Amino acid sequence: MKTEDIEYHADGARLVGYLAVDDATPGKRPGIIVAHEGNGLSEHSKTSARRLAEAGYAAFALDYYGDGQPLADMNEAMKRIGAWMGDPTGIRLRAHAALEVLLAQRETDAARLAAIGYCFGGTTVLEMARAGEPLAAVVGFHSGLGTARPAAAGAVKAKVLVELGADDPIVPAAQRDAFVAEMTQAKVDWRMTLHGGCVHSFTNPGATAELGRPELRYDKAADARSWRAMLDVFAEVF
């Protein structure tokens, strides 16, 4: 497998993403953007990129903070996320630049693109869909669903899947209901799965130890089920 750190720039920031491709398989293959959790580009997203590469995709784990490093201060992370929630222009610019990097790879089939994201990374890929990026599918894992710029009717080209913890206090029922209304009004092909007994960050094995918050907890079964659901969507669109 080929893995590579790639520097790129957007919105006034130096960003460093992580590419993973199975170079033993010749030819072009679908390209997948992977957007990290709110603490920054960590091994969690890089592992997802490698798993996607093993499954036959070209995967690029973007960096939306800068320098390709996690943020040590979660207060700083929440400050940045809050600004993007108020105005998604910056996060859309950073995500679009990452898509351009993915498209520039010789292994990427430009006609077959998708994006997945975790936590605010899920919010990020949903913003890509709302912006009309040429994605066949978008999958958000325990993703924030709110936006200051709701999707216009017909703008979203992607099929949308969100995988959520039913007991997630960060993405409560009211936020889910608002998202359903938005997607329905915008005439999006969308799906939502609720995993009973799960809270936030259920895909991250290090959630409790690394992030140190009680509302963040790994769930092995939900992790596996949500990954399979993602692969099912990719099989449908590709």
Alpha-carbon span 84 to 79, nearest angstrom: 9
Q: Which strand (E) or helix (H) includes residue 237? A: helix 220-237
Alpha-carbon span 122 to 120, nearest angstrom: 5
pLDDT at residue 74, as a whole number: 85
Task: Tally the residues of the chain.
Answer: 238
User: Angle formed by the axes of helices 74-86 and 120-130, to 10°?
Assistant: 20
Contact 166, 194 (CB under 8 A): yes
Q: Which residues contact 168 (CB under 8 A, 6 or more apart)?
A: 142, 198, 199, 200, 215
pLDDT at residue 187, as a whole number: 98
Nearest CA-CA partner of 29 in 2, 3, 53 = 53
List of long-range contacts for 168-172, beta carbons under 8 Å, 24+ apart? 168/142, 168/198, 168/199, 168/200, 168/215, 169/199, 169/200, 169/215, 170/142, 170/144, 170/200, 170/215, 171/142, 171/143, 171/144, 171/145, 171/200
pLDDT at residue 25, as a whole number: 84
pLDDT at residue 210, as a whole number: 61
Contact 54, 22 (CB under 8 A): yes
pLDDT at residue 208, as a whole number: 76
**3-state secondary structure (DSSP) of residue 89:** helix
pLDDT by 10-residue block (mean), the chain, 238 residues:
97 98 93 96 97 98 96 90 98 98 98 98 98 98 98 97 97 98 98 97 85 84 98 98
pLDDT at residue 73, as a whole number: 87
Domains, the chain, ranges and CATH? 2-237 (3.40.50.1820)
Alpha-carbon span 169 to 175, nearest angstrom: 10
Phi, psi of 220 (to 5 degrees): -60, -45
pLDDT at residue 214, as a whole number: 82
Alpha-carbon span 204 to 186, nearest angstrom: 31
